C-alpha cells in the first residue's frame, strides 16, 4: 500500500491549484514561502489537498511564476487574443444594454464565494469571485469579460463554470453589466441559473468548452 506522502496530485487537482494560483498572480499577489501559499489557498481548496500536497503545490507556484516571468520578456499570445476580444466587444451591438436590469442579490450581505471557470481560447481554468442573485438571469462584469478572452455576442456570454474543487460543470448564459452593478464580485449567478444554456451566440461552442468537465477530454486538457 502506498503511503499518502508518496501519492501525487491528480491532473484535476493540479488544474484546480493552478487556476487558484493564476488568480493570485492576476491580483498582483506574490508569495515568498510555502506557508504563505497555503495561507492564501486555505479558503479555496480543501485542507486535505493542501496538507497532503504542500510541496507539490509550492512547485506549481514556482513553475507558474517562472512561466509568467518568461512571458514578460516576449510578446504574449494571450495578450494578442485579449486585444482582439476587446476590439470585438467594443464593436458588438449594444442595443440590448439599455434593457438589462441590475441584479438583486439574495441579501445585501450575500457572501462572496469562488468558482472555477473554463476559458476555451486560452485552454485554462481560472478562479473568479461570485455571488447569488434572485431570479433566472445571471450576470457578469463587462470589464471582467473583456479581459478574459470570452466570446461575447449581444451583450451575453456563456460561462462554463463549477464550484471550486468540484466537478459539477454548468453552462450558464450571463448578461454583461457595468462592474458597479455587481459589487464585490465579477459574476452574479441566478438562483435559478441555467446549467445547459444555449443561445443564438456566434461561436458559443468555443466559449462553452466541453459538455462536462473540461479536464475530462482532449479538448479541455490543462497542462501545468
Domain end call among 72, 96, 125: 72
Q: Which three cell numbers stand for residue 218?
A: 482532449
Whether 214 is covered by a domain: the verdict is: no
- Regarding whether 185 and 150 lie in a shared domain, the answer is yes
- Quick: pLDDT tens for 97-123: 445 677 888 776 667 888 999 887 778
Q: What is the pLDDT of residue 69?
A: 67
pTM of the predicted model as reported, rounded to 2 decimal places: 0.51
Q: Which three cell numbers stand for residue 26?
A: 492576476
Residue 156 maps to which CATH number? 2.40.70
What phi and psi values does residue 61 have, to the nearest 5 degrees? Answer: -60, -45
Number of domains in the chain: 2
Give the containing element (helix H, strand E) for 177: strand 170-177
Half-sphere exposure of 38 (CA within 13 A, CB side): 13
Our CA angle for 32, 60, 58, nearest 5°, is: 40
- Regarding whether 177 and 118 lie in a shared domain, the answer is yes
- Quick: pLDDT tens for 64-81: 877 766 554 444 444 444
Residue-level pLDDT, tens digit, the chain, 224 residues:
444 445 788 877 887 888 888 788 777 777 777 888 888 888 778 888 888 888 888 888 888 877 766 554 444 444 444 454 444 444 444 444 445 677 888 776 667 888 999 887 778 888 888 999 998 899 999 988 888 878 888 889 999 999 888 888 899 999 999 989 988 889 999 988 877 766 544 444 444 444 444 544 433 444 33
Q: How far is CA 46 from CA 29, 51, 154, 165, 218, in A?
A: 21, 9, 38, 8, 27
Q: Which domain holds residue 51?
A: 4-72
- Regarding whether 129 and 195 lie in a shared domain, the answer is yes
Rounded to whole angstroms, the Cα distance separating 187 from 183 reads: 9
Amino acid at each position: 500500500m502506498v503511503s499518502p506522502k508518496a501519492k501525487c496530485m491528480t491532473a484535476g487537482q493540479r488544474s484546480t491549484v493552478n487556476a487558484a494560483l493564476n488568480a493570485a498572480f492576476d491580483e498582483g499577489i506574490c508569495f515568498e514561502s510555502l506557508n504563505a501559499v497555503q495561507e492564501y489557498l486555505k479558503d479555496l481548496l480543501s485542507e486535505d489537498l493542501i496538507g497532503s500536497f504542500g510541496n507539490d503545490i509550492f512547485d506549481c507556484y514556482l513553475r507558474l511564476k517562472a512561466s509568467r516571468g518568461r512571458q514578460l520578456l516576449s510578446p504574449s499570445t494571450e495578450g494578442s487574443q485579449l486585444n482582439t476580444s476587446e476590439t470585438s466587444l467594443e464593436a458588438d451591438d449594444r442595443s440590448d444594454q439599455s434593457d438589462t436590469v441590475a441584479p438583486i442579490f439574495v441579501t445585501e450581505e450575500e457572501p462572496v464565494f469562488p468558482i472555477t471557470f473554463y476559458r476555451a481560447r486560452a485552454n485554462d481554468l481560472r478562479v473568479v469571485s461570485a455571488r447569488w442573485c434572485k431570479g433566472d438571469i445571471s450576470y457578469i462584469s463587462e470589464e471582467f469579460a473583456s479581459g478574459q478572452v470570452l466570446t461575447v455576442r449581444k451583450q451575453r456570454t456563456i460561462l462554463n463554470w463549477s464550484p471550486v474543487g468540484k466537478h459539477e460543470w454548468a453552462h450558464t448564459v450571463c448578461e454583461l453589466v457595468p462592474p458597479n452593478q455587481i459589487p464585490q464580485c465579477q459574476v452574479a449567478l441566478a438562483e435559478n441559473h441555467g446549467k445547459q444554456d444555449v443561445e443564438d451566440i456566434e461561436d458559443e461552442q468555443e466559449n462553452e468548452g466541453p459538455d462536462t468537465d473540461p479536464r475530462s477530454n482532449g479538448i479541455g486538457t490543462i497542462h501545468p
